[in-house]
Structure 1
Amino acid sequence: MRFGELAEARDLTAHGYDADAVRVNLRVPPDLFMWQTKGVPIDLGYRYTVRPAPDRSSLNISVNNGFVQSLRIPAVSTSTFDLGHYFSRVLPDKTVAARHEIYIPPLLITPRAQLRLHFYYDIPKTGECQGRVLDNVIGAIDPNSTIDLSGFPHYMALPDLAAFANGGFPFTRMADLSQTAVVLPNAPNPADYSLYLLEMGRMGASTGYPVTGVTVTSPNDVDRFADKDLLILGSPGRQPLLQRWAKQMPFSGDGDTRTFQLSDVAFKLVDWWHGEQGPERSPARADLSLVSANGDALLTGFESPLKSGRSAVALISAAGQSDADLSAALLDNDLLPSIQGAMAVIHGRTVTVTSNGEAYYVGHLSPMHYMRWALSSHPLLLVLCGVFAALIIAALFYRALRSIAARRLGN
């Protein structure tokens, strides 16, 4: 994708010694599988003002607050023996074009990743009585610079409320939300419509595209949309799916009573096969029931009971303060990082996370890629598989050689 499609051309240019960084919002999906890769490649083209003498000027590249790389801004050599003197073409505005390939580390790639390119120009020391330094330096990013995500498969463990809170995933897999169905209560109230519009706005902001393909339905008709991801809104007593699917989700509610399961160790990795790459939630060890007039707001994610591989996220709140708490939390950049796991309980500005239930996976890996990933955390199993394969190959060679020897003896 070209940078010119992600930012306006005027926003890719910085003027002066004190210019702010050039900022490009990447809008990267969270399900990119970047295991054992150098990261996301960027073909970066840029122009810089040549320096009158070698100094500390540089183009500093970072993602959010994570430093990536620094590219030196050189001075134009006047030596006839320097090849750069002949290949560096200085334009009339005293700038030179350059191009580099850089890689963004996988850990820095998030749904809200912002690429920051800061042109730092060292102010020349002119000495006393030399006049004022002219603020005539410029740095510009080529709009034809590209970021290439095409080489990464899509594969991810869910539920993961962090991906939902920060990027609307898995609903934003399609920019127009054409594979999403929003399930409103049978008798929706203004708070339900408000939360629905809030979520549509957040997802549209995440993808940069209007959510024209979303489907809105009721609990009675939800079975017709089994092939879609489900966003469920409502409170206990008004949203019948909370009772109907109580066994498939870590929360159930009836009237003012809310019951959800708590794991004794949140985010504990217990799945032997997937190892550290595949988090499986530990089984629930206790049930907790809350009975209150307003209660707390809840966010919970689980696999859709209607179809394997499809996802459901429920935003659950009661009329009153919990409605306001839920809406405020989804708009608060300070609280969003606290929303994680399979379920988050929101009370005021406090977020409590519990992770339970079994993980499921969305996306696809090639068989060879999957085996390499799965076996990477089990070296002993990898050795046993190698020995087993060697025995099979040895047995095939043995039978082939015996057959050849038998034919020779027969002749």
Structure 2
Amino acid sequence: MTEPACTQAVIDDQSTIDMSGYHHYIAMPDLSAFARSGFPYSRMADLSETVVVVPAKSGATQISTYLEMLAAISARSGYPAMGLRLSDNWGEAAKLDADLLVLGSFAPEMRGNRDMNLLLDHSRDWLLQSSNAPENREAIHNADVNDPRNQPASRVEVSAKGPIAAIIGMQSPCHDQRSVVALLASEEGDYQLLRETLNDSGKMDAVAGSVVMIRSSGVNGQMVGDQYFVGNLPWWLMLWFKLSEHPILLAVMAVTGVLLTSFLIWRVLRWAGRRRLAYEQ
């Protein structure tokens, strides 16, 4: 018996994978995408379409949080953040055509924005809590934010005696195709809690939805607020995507199409039959 030859294969180190033909389209806000891959900032490997907004007077803990977050995103994209822009002026940063990563707190003018789901102010937070909050990451990811049960139903005031931080995802107020992710904290203990979460893969797995509350007891995410979409699709894929949300309508259209096609074929065959009979006569 002859043993088979030892066959080995290797991928040429000069080869490349071209994924430029793929379409990019995603429902936002989706903090699970941010936790897994650093999206939307990692869309450009050098973070050239990212602006980080930091407090004008940042302390050591805030700077450490900022650097650790950038290191995590760069690790996911595989390239250093050479194109990153840094700003301490929310007004100017919001006008730029870029995705914003906010650290610390929102500017005062953003506190009245209808998409603002959470505000932190010295261990006090106000959470627009939905009346039908999903309990796990999969349910949060699949939640329909247009469902009235998932719309902000009440304003709950919570008094926090321990450290508390939050991660919020929302649409940019100035650009429809841009996103804002805010890492909110106020006290030293809050930033420490935020850093521990960002460096803990287990806790980051719980980051999902549009609002994530971080406490010493754990991480809790919810899907509230308005949904928007980032990316582009050809018109035929967009039509299919819209129809996929209405299976009954899609079924009715399919049945109608089959009936119309059958009717046209019947008419053509009937016309052909009459023509043949007329020719034979």
Match of 1:96 in 2: 7
SS at match of 1:335: helix
SS at match of 2:76: helix
Residue 248 of structure 2 is aligned with which of 380, 387, 408? Answer: 380
Higher helix share: 2
Match of 1:171 in 2: 41
TM-score by length of 1: 0.55
Matched, 1:284 2:195: no
Letter in 2 for 1:323: Y
Match of 2:73 in 1: 203
Taking a change above 3 Å as real, the CA distance of residues 374 and 233 of structure 1, as seen in their structure-2 partners, is same
Letter in 1 for 2:193: D
Taking a change above 3 Å as real, the CA distance of residues 348 and 376 of structure 1, as seen in their structure-2 partners, is same
Shift of residue 142, structure 1, vs aligned partner = 2.6
Q: 1:258-281 CA deviation, whole Å, 9 max, x = no partner?
A: 21111122359xxxxxxx989435
Q: Indicate if the aligned counterparts of 1:233 and 1:314 stay in contact, CA closer than 8 A.
A: yes
Looking at structure 2, the residues matched to 199 and 302 of structure 1 have their Cα atoms a distance apart, in angstroms, of 18
Larger Rg: 1
Structure 1 residues 65-80: aligned runs within 5 Å: 75-76=3-4
Q: 1:85-140 CA deviation, whole Å, 9 max, x = no partner?
A: xxxxx5xxxx3146xxxxxxxxxxxxxxxxxxxxxxxxxxxxxxxxxxxxxxxxxx
Q: Indicate if the aligned counterparts of 2:51 and 2:93 stay in contact, CA closer than 8 A.
A: no
Match of 1:331 in 2: 199
SS at match of 2:52: strand
Aligned residues: 254
Shift of residue 246, structure 1, vs aligned partner = 3.9
Looking at structure 2, the residues matched to 362 and 204 of structure 1 have their Cα atoms a distance apart, in angstroms, of 21
Match of 1:191 in 2: 61
Match of 1:354 in 2: 222
Match of 1:313 in 2: 181
SS at match of 1:305: coil
Higher relative CO (Cα under 8 Å, sequence separation at least 6) belongs to 2
Higher strand share: 1
TM-score by length of 2: 0.78
Match of 1:259 in 2: 126
SS at match of 1:287: strand
Looking at structure 2, the residues matched to 333 and 214 of structure 1 have their Cα atoms a distance apart, in angstroms, of 25
Taking a change above 3 Å as real, the CA distance of residues 277 and 293 of structure 1, as seen in their structure-2 partners, is closer
Q: Indicate if the aligned counterparts of 1:162 and 1:339 stay in contact, CA closer than 8 A.
A: yes
Letter in 2 for 1:309: Q
Q: 1:253-300 CA deviation, whole Å, 9 max, x = no partner?
A: 4455321111122359xxxxxxx9894352012222233466411001
Taking a change above 3 Å as real, the CA distance of residues 143 and 264 of structure 1, as seen in their structure-2 partners, is farther
SS at match of 2:7: strand
Letter in 2 for 1:247: R
Letter in 2 for 1:350: G
Letter in 1 for 2:153: R
Looking at structure 1, the residues matched to 7 and 56 of structure 2 have their Cα atoms a distance apart, in angstroms, of 64
Letter in 1 for 2:234: S
Q: Indicate if the aligned counterparts of 2:210 and 2:223 stay in contact, CA closer than 8 A.
A: yes
Q: Indicate if the aligned counterparts of 1:259 and 1:288 stay in contact, CA closer than 8 A.
A: yes
Q: Percent identity?
A: 30
Residue 303 of structure 1 is aligned with which of 152, 156, 171? Answer: 171
* Larger CA deviation: 179-188 vs 247-256: 247-256
SS at match of 2:201: coil
Taking a change above 3 Å as real, the CA distance of residues 246 and 378 of structure 1, as seen in their structure-2 partners, is closer
Q: 1:160-205 CA deviation, whole Å, 9 max, x = no partner?
A: 1111112111011101111111111232222221111111111111
Shift of residue 331, structure 1, vs aligned partner = 0.7
Letter in 2 for 1:258: D
Match of 1:219 in 2: 89
Looking at structure 2, the residues matched to 373 and 224 of structure 1 have their Cα atoms a distance apart, in angstroms, of 30
Looking at structure 2, the residues matched to 243 and 370 of structure 1 have their Cα atoms a distance apart, in angstroms, of 32
Superposition CA RMSD, Å: 3.1
